[in-house]
Structure 1
Amino acid sequence: MTRLTLTHGDITRQHVDAIVNAANSSLLGGGGVDGAIHRAGGPEILAECRALRASRYGRGLPTGQAVATTAGQLPARWVIHTVGPVYQQDGSADPELLASCYRESLRVADELGARTVAFPAISTGVYRWPMDDAARIAVETVRAARTEAEEVRFVLLDERAYDRFAEQLRRA
């Protein structure tokens, strides 16, 4: 059974097999978690992302999908890039796409043989997914996933996010 844990901190400092990147579809870096991972990991990550864009993902990585690269200079073996959905306040946001980010990232982790995986709170930054709902989707999806991962760690940058994820773990 997979152990779910929480930590307050910087995902780029996690000593795990795989770090999940809340990427944008270009795979070429950006702001938030994506920018932090690219900066801390160094040019090796960007080089592999460019190669992926030149081969399989010419139009970018689709929302809800996941793909792995090296972790470069990060204290992990791999970075698993996934593109979360943008939240739409008109109700057209699809929670299944957010759940797919977690499932697909764990599927890729299993293919790699990763036993420890660190996730950020996907889509809760500039993509504006409400933290309570995002935490619920993340915890429920990871709990239900069939994965070989021994530990899934949610790495949360601020107290508010940590508290929301902790509440969801208590409920689950």
Structure 2
Amino acid sequence: MRPDGLPHKRPHFDNWQRSPPVSTEPPKPPEPLTGGVKYKLSDHCTLVMWKGDIVIWHVDGQTDAIVAPANKKVNAGLGINGAIHRAAGPRLADAGAKLPDMAPQGVKCVIGAAVVTRAFNLKVSRVIHAVAPVYQERDDASPRDLNSAYRSALELANREGVKYICFAAMSCGLYGYPYDEAAEIALTQCLRNHGDIREVHFVLKEQDYYDTWLDEAKRIFKC
């Protein structure tokens, strides 16, 4: 329950431990980007909100990066991460496999951290792979790790000279994070840690994600 007494906005797929049914239908074409609502993060940085498919987002192909909600082995998975890997092609997973291990058993990126690879068939220059947590209610690690995942992605983007970065709703959906809490963390980290980035974009595939991110942006930026 939120401090204002309202329930948290939960994902429709509550049982995140069980994978959704695998479809035999061919994948649908990417949904075009709509919206483009802008907010000012600082004198040099703009926040932009879109609804649609993150895989088609790009700016200049040189200083732009998509953030993939990655798993610890930085390979193809479900949801947005899987869509990014499909669009980028198999070389993205190959690049992830070649990253140095951060931990035993082939862990390429620990929870709350981020690593970077080329983007291959995507139109952006890089993919930043950030590992966000599975939501656990009454566990302080969940907000700590989600804050860390966003902060790590932004700090890595700045070190890489990225000027345009794009996020999805990390930890939502299958990972079970309440939309409003996740949006507050995401937007707060972008406000605090955008550094030299010129534009921070969010592409939200689901309408309820998009609406929640807009609501949280209006609250945080008081507009």
Same structural fold, with TM-score higher than 0.5 when normalized by the shorter chain: yes
Matched with 2:52 is 9
Q: Which moved more, 1:90-99 or 1:11-20?
A: 90-99
Structure 1 residue matching 2:47: 3-state secondary structure: strand
1:1-57 deviations in Å (ceiling 9; x for gaps): 3211100010100014100000111111100011001100012211110101xx233
Q: Distance in 2 between matches of 1:59 and 1:21?
A: 16
**Is 1:103 matched with 2:103?**
no
Q: Distance in 2 between matches of 1:70 and 1:43?
A: 12
Matched with 1:45 is 92
Q: Distance in 2 between matches of 1:42 and 1:84?
A: 23
Structure 2 residue matching 1:20: 3-state secondary structure: strand
Q: Which structure carries more relative contact order (alpha carbon 8 Å, separation 6+)?
A: 1
TM-score w.r.t. the length of structure 1 is 0.94
1:119-171 deviations in Å (ceiling 9; x for gaps): 00000021100001000110111111151110000110011001110011111
Matched with 1:56 is 101
**Is 1:134 matched with 2:191?**
no
TM-score w.r.t. the length of structure 2 is 0.73
Structure 2 residue aligned with 1:121, among 169, 174, 183? Answer: 169
Instruction: Structure 2 unaligned segments of length 5 or more: list them.
Output: 1-41
Asked if structure 2 preserves the Cα contact closer than 8 Å seen for 1:44 and 1:70, the reply is no
- Flag the structure with larger Rg: 2
Instruction: Structure 1 unaligned segments of length 5 or more: list them.
Output: none
Matched with 1:170 is 218
Structure 2 residue aligned with 1:23, among 70, 78, 87? Answer: 70
Q: Distance in 2 between matches of 1:59 and 1:109?
A: 21
* C-alpha RMSD of the superposition: 1.3
Q: Distance in 1 between matches of 2:138 and 2:97?
A: 34
Q: Identity over the aligned pairs, expressed in percent?
A: 39
Q: Which is helix-richer, 1 or 2? A: 1
Q: Distance in 1 between matches of 2:148 and 2:138?
A: 21
